[in-house]
Every structure is written in C-alpha cells, then in structure tokens.
C-alpha cells in the first residue's frame, strides 16, 4: 500500500533518555497572506483518498479546513530506480489518473465548474490550483517518498551527479509543471504554479525503513548534500522567474534518537530547510504484542512528543522550525486481556478496522466513542487518550488532546502543527478546528 503512517515503525528498537526541560524560543512571526501565519498548519492530502474514502480537494472547502491551513503536503511523489521524480499510471508506483487526468464534475470541483475533456490539467492538481485561487495565502508542497516510496532515495542521493539530476527532475515535474502527456492532459507547464515547494519524506536516511528501502551509512552526509542541492536549485529557479517569494523546502523527520543520529546532520540541514515536521505518532503500533500509547505528549521513559522536540532541540534545531506532527487516526488492538483500562496489556493482534487492521480514521473512532460501547480513558499528565470496551483498545488524539498539544506548541515557541491525514477528520473538520483554535489561544 502507498499509505505512509502504518509503516512508520521507526521507534520500535530505540529508547529515550529521561526528559529534560528546555527554554522556550521565540514564536515564528506572521508573514502575511490570507491566513494566520504565526504558526504553520500543515495537512497531508493523500492521493489515494479520492477513491475508497471519497475525500476530494473540494471537501477541504466544504468542511472549513482550507481556510485554516497554511500548507497542504500532497502525498506522495515517487522516485524511479534511475533516481528521478516521475509519474504515470503504474499500479502501486504512480497514479497520474488521480494526480492530473481524472475529470471532476461540478459537484466535486472547488470552483463548482465541471472539468472538460480538453483542459490540460484535471484531477487533484487542478483542484489544488482552484483551492489556492480561493485561498491566496495557502501553499501546496509535493511530498516525496513516504514509507512505501522511499525505496530509491538513497541511490538518488548517492553522488553529486545523481543528486543534481534527481533535483532537476523533481523541479521540472512539479515546480515547472512539465507533466507527461496523457491524452489531452499534461504537457509543458501544465501544472506550473500548483506547487510552492517540496517536502522530503525519506524514511529513513541511514537506517531501516520499509523492507525494500535501500539505506547506507553515508546517507547522513548525502541527505545533507541533497537538502543543499534542493535549496540551491529551488532558489536559482525562483530567481530566474523573478519570483518575489522563495520556494519552500521541508522534511518529515523521526522521533527515535538513534534514527536522528544515523541520518540527520541537524544543524546543517536546518540552515537550508524552512521547517521540519516531527513524527508525533506511531510511537507504538498495533503490530506490537501489548497495547501502548501511540502519540502521548509526555511519557516518562517512553517515546513522546516532548521527547521528540527535546531530541531535536538538543541537536541544534531552532524551535520555530519544529512543526509538531499529530495523528488524525488511531492505532488499535483486539483480544486485550488483563482487565483494568486496557493500557499496557497483552493483545492477540491488530483490531479490525475499515481500511486496514489496527488503523482507523478519527471520524470512525468518534462514532465508537459516541456509541457508548467504549469508555474514553485519559492520561491527563501524559496528554493522551484511548478507547476501551473490555476487549478492543484504540489509542488516538481527540480535540481535548489536541488542545493540550497546541498549548505546548505556544508555550515552547514551536513552528506549528502537522496532521496525517486530512481525509480522516470528520465532515465538519472537528480536529482541524481544534488545532486552529488552540494555536490561536482560544
């Protein structure tokens, strides 16, 4: 599957040191536009969510999220075995149909106008362009990689020549918008202006990721050089276009200290990255034999958001470039024994769910919570919540948890919040609203 979050098992083999306090840093200042820019609010839009979940770009307008977001990360762009950004219609590898070929009718279009057969850009890319027209301050980044599609990142970053060619291909495809021709769709400049930058989601440089993902000890220095190459080429292209604002460059980064140290020269990459989004979830996953929290704000002797922030600050990252990741989904176990509130108890396996065992969207978990069949439990000191019915347990973030996390962001001067993924929220954007209000101090 192309979904990234289930694969993020990076934390399983590492341990955190005891948490320590740190001094708050200055909050990022507003930078204009149509949104509140004091904090970044970065949401992942999944390419495949338009199918089974039937979550269209237009739904971000309908549920009110579009007016609250500062950034949309489009997941994902893939990398070929030759180390190039590419698209096409290759099952499991690329989906040009969803990206820019699929026509949308009037009811599913942001502007209320049906796509025609002649226009060069349709699909999600065209809808993102229409959404930006409605919200001029909104930025859209193409996110490269993810758990399943980080396979060839290490090869692409291996040499100066391979890095240069890789970055050129990504800028040509996504920033210049030179899409492959697919009938009337695509062509030179067809997607120009859709993307405002690039998000690097390499999972993980220097350490193990998905089963077929290559990694090397030299990934750490090569990732640093790759970030520099992206920054250099993006800036050069912006100058050539006399662009008043630069193209943005971000990265998704891990929580485990061992993975940070194996793949990330923190001080150097932070000079060239506009911000990083921190893994704030999948601290424990449903494949483990015992139930555990997946996204606690604080957890003594265990993975936590606070521990992740501390790990990056200790290694030299500026606080206002750290954007906290938040899950819009839950991890679940069934066959839970041992009684009590179910947390920390043995389980027989991942809980049944709508799309994949052990993984459920918030909108479905809210229905479970509202049904009365489950009891909501909270660790108020730890800042996390879970549902338990005596047999099945789901660990997840609800609006109350997100209020605590946004308070933490404001208290510590972090750069904002990121969420995986926008299609998992309720029809009225309950989680997005909670984050937005929390960051505004409301």
Q: From the CB of residue 287, how many other CB atoms can be counted at a distance below 10 Å?
A: 14
List Cα–Cα distances, 65 to 49, 60, 61, 417, in angstroms. 16, 5, 6, 14
Positions annotated as catalytic residues are 203
Return phi, psi of residue 201, to 5°: -120, 60
List Cα–Cα distances, 375 to 105, 350, 385, 394, in angstroms. 42, 19, 10, 10
Contact (Cβ atoms closer than 8 angstroms) between residue 8 and residue 203: yes
Contact (Cβ atoms closer than 8 angstroms) between residue 323 and residue 417: yes
The Cα–Cα gap between 124 and 122 comes to 7
Beta bridge partners of 334: 349
Q: From the CB of residue 180, how many other CB atoms can be counted at a distance below 10 Å?
A: 16
Look at the alpha carbons of 215, 221, 222, 223 in this order and tell me if their dihedral is positive or negative: positive
Q: Side-chain half-sphere of 164: how many Cα atoms within 13 Å?
A: 3
Q: From the CB of residue 377, how many other CB atoms can be counted at a distance below 10 Å?
A: 16
């Amino acid at each position: 599957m192309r979904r990234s979050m289930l694969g993020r098992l990076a934390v399983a083999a590492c341990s955190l040191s005891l948490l320590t306090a740190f001094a708050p840093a200055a909050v990022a200042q507003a930078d204009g536009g149509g949104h509140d820019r004091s904090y970044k609010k970065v949401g992942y839009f999944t390419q495949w969510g338009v199918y089974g979940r039937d979550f269209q770009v237009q739904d971000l307008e309908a549920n009110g999220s579009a007016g609250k977001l500062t950034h949309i990360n489009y997941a994902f762009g893939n990398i070929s075995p030759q180390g190039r950004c590419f698209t096409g219609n290759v099952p499991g590898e690329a989906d040009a149909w969803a990206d820019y070929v699929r026509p949308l009718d009037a009811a599913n279009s942001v502007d209320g106008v049906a796509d025609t057969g002649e226009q060069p850009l349709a699909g999600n890319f065209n809808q993102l362009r229409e959404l930006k027209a409605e919200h001029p301050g909104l930025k859209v980044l193409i996110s490269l990689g993810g758990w399943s599609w980080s396979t060839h990142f290490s090869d692409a970053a291996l040499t100066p020549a391979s890095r240069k060619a890789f970055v050129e291909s990504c800028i040509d495809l996504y920033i210049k918008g030179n899409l492959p021709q697919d009938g009337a769709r695509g062509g030179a400049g067809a997607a120009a202006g859709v993307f405002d930058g690039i998000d690097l989601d390499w999972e993980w440089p220097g350490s193990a990721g998905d089963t077929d993902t290559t990694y090397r000890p030299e990934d750490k220095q090569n990732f640093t050089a790759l970030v520099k190459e992206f920054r250099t080429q993006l800036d050069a292209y912006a100058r050539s276009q006399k662009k008043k604002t630069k193209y943005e460059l971000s990265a998704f980064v891990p929580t485990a200290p061992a993975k940070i140290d194996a793949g990330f020269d923190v001080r150097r990459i932070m000079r060239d990255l506009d911000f990083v989004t921190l893994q704030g979830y999948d601290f424990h996953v449903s494949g483990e034999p015992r139930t555990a929290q997946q996204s606690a704000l604080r957890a003594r002797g265990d993975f936590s958001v606070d521990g992740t922030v501390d790990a990056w600050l200790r290694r030299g990252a500026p606080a206002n470039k750290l954007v906290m990741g938040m899950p819009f989904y839950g991890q679940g176990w069934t066959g839970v024994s041992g009684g009590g509130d179910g947390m920390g108890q043995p389980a027989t396996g991942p809980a049944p769910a709508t799309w994949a065992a052990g993984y459920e969207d918030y909108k479905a978990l809210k229905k479970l919570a509202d049904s009365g069949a489950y009891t909501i439990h909270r660790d108020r000191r730890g800042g996390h919540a879970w549902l338990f019915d005596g047999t099945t347990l789901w660990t997840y973030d609800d609006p109350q948890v997100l209020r605590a996390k946004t308070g933490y962001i404001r208290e510590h001067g972090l750069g904002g919040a990121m969420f995986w993924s926008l299609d998992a929220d309720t029809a009225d954007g309950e989680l997005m609203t909670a984050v937005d209000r929390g960051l505004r101090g409301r």
